[in-house]
Structure formats: structure tokens, C-alpha cells
Structure 1
Amino acid sequence: MRFVKFVKAALAAALGMTVITASAHAADGGDISRSYGVWRNPKNSVHLEIKDCGPSTCGVVVWASPKAEADARKSGTDTLVGKQLLRDFEAQNNGSLKGRVWVPTLKVTLVGTADIVDAKTMRAKGCVIGNFLCKSQLWTRIDGPAVLASRAAP
């Protein structure tokens, strides 16, 4: 029973962090930069900025809800904002992105993939073991002048 709970929690966390990075790639046949921007998870509790991080693509938390921050603190992470949750994401031959996803609440790094559905939607998939025990989510692009300006306001 504990293993089942762990798997469910790991899938939810992996999916929550994975969805965000890889969607823009499939729609344009390989331009990973189309995934760049700010994306929110389905619960709107975490906003990630997908961007170039040297030779690969990464995702950095730019906003987190008080509950998401509290959950991270309970697991030993001082703050989510500024943390790189998506690492080493690269384009795959099938048009998706693949990389590593750090899940602070579980203190683990998992494999994640993402595919773009359209200009505003990304499908993310996280797996606990290989291509088994997987879950997917739809993330929404939220970057735009109004969103970025409101985030910069004191």
C-alpha cells in the first residue's frame, strides 16, 4: 500500500513538473525554442519559465503558490522560486523533448517528456520506471505582456 501511494505521488509530481517543458517542439518539427516562455501547471500552483540553459533547455520556477512553497519547505527546499526543476531537455527524433525533472517534494529526479499540442498547450508525461507507471498533464502558456508586467510589480 505504501508503494502504491509513493507511485501515485511520484507520478503526480513528475507530471506536474514535466508537462511544462517539451510541448512546443512537436508542432514545428524540431525548433526547441518554441517551447520557451512561461507555462502554468493545471492547478495554477507553479509557473515555470522554459529557456536556454547552455547546451540544453531548462525550466526555472518564476512563481509558486503559498501551498506549493509550503509543500516544498516540508521536504527541505527553502523556496521554489528560482529553482531549476527541468534540466537537460533536448529534442528527440519523434519531435518531443526529453530530460530530467527534479521533484523537490519527493527529493528525486525523474525522466520526463513533453509535446506541444498547440501554441498555448503542452502535454507533459512523467514516468517513475522506464515507460511504465506514467501520467500526463496539459500545461498552459501564460507569458504575455500583462502577465510578465504583473509579476514584476512589487
Structure 2
Amino acid sequence: MFAFRLAAAVAALMTAVAVPAAAQPQNAVAPATIYGVWMNPYKSVAVRTGPCGDRLCGWIVWANEEAQNDARDGGTPRLIGTALLENYRAEKPGSWSGTVFVPDMNRRFYSIIQQVGPDQMKVKGCILGGLLCKSQLWHRIADVPHA
């Protein structure tokens, strides 16, 4: 169950949004290609990523019924619109560190995002100061699913 929750949180990070060059942070390390809509490997959550100040964030824009029910059971009453990826700071080209919110646990964990290709990103969530980590490969999607 923890792996599913962590995966859902990571998926929310990767939702696509077009951002004009002027709106990008001045100190951004990676190109705007990290911005967009991303689907988690379970195809249960889609996340739109974009700037939040000088950081990278991601908001849940779609979730299937099971993910929404799990989030409610965990204490997150409204999953759609929830910030899943919070305050990711560029560390090096294609890599960010921040916090991932796991809605069905109602908890935040240290996280690293690595863009491994134009349409793939790896989201890793960690506990115990980074000693135990779980990662997922998210895929860019062209459109938010319907229904």
C-alpha cells in the first residue's frame, strides 16, 4: 500500500503545462521540457508540472476513482488540485530535489526527480533521511484523461 501511495504522489508531480520562456525561473538548470502532464506507472494519477516561484511543483489534474477513494481514506478529501510535488529545487541539469506529498498517507517525504528522457521522468521518494527510497518511472501524456 505504501508503494501505491508513493507512486500516486510522484505521478502528481509530472503534469504538463506550457510556460513561456519569460515565466521560467532565472536560475533554472533544466529546460522547460520538465513542464507538462505526466502519468504515473499505474495509470491512476496525472500531474501537471510547472513553476512555483523559482521552484518546480506539480498538481494532480486527474485521478481514477480508486486513487480518489484511497486519498479520502488517508485524510485528503479532494485529490484533484492537490499539490503532489512541492518546492523542487534544480540540483543539476535534469535533476531536482523537493518534497512529494502522499495523499493516502497524508504525509510528505523527501524526493528527487530526474528527467531521464523527453517523455520520461523518474520520481523517487525517500524516508529515514534518504536511507530507504522507492522510485517510479512516469511518462509524459499529451492530454489529461477523461472520466
Give the TM-score band, short-chain normalised: 0.7 to 0.9
TM-score, normalization by structure 1: 0.76
User: How big is each residue's C-alpha offset from its partner over 1:46-72, in whole Å with a ceiling of 9 and x where there is no partner?
Assistant: 000001112211100000000000011
Q: Determine the structure 1 residue equivalent to 2:18.
A: none
Q: Determine the structure 1 residue equivalent to 2:92.
A: 93
SS of 2:92 mapped into structure 1: coil
1:93 Cα deviation from its structure 2 partner: 3.3
Q: Which has the higher contact order (CA 8 A, sep 6+)?
A: 1
Residue 108 (1) aligns with residue 107 (2): yes
1:75 Cα deviation from its structure 2 partner: 1.6
Q: Determine the structure 2 residue equivalent to 1:79.
A: 78
Task: Could you tell me which runs of 5 or more consecutive residues in structure 1 were left unpaired when the two chains were aligned.
Answer: 1-7, 23-28
* Greater radius of gyration (CA): 1
Identity of aligned pairs, percent? 35
- In proportion to residue count, which structure has more helix? 1
User: How big is each residue's C-alpha offset from its partner over 1:64-110, in whole Å with a ceiling of 9 and x where there is no partner?
Assistant: 00000001111221221011111101110364111011111112110
Report if the CA contact (8 A) 1:19-1:123 is conserved: no
1:40 Cα deviation from its structure 2 partner: 0.3
**Matched length:** 134
- State how 1:59-78 maps to structure 2 within 5 Å: 59-78=58-77
TM-score, normalization by structure 2: 0.80
Q: Determine the structure 2 residue equivalent to 1:57.
A: 56
**Root mean square deviation of aligned Cα:** 2.4
Q: Which amino acid aligns with 2:104?
A: T
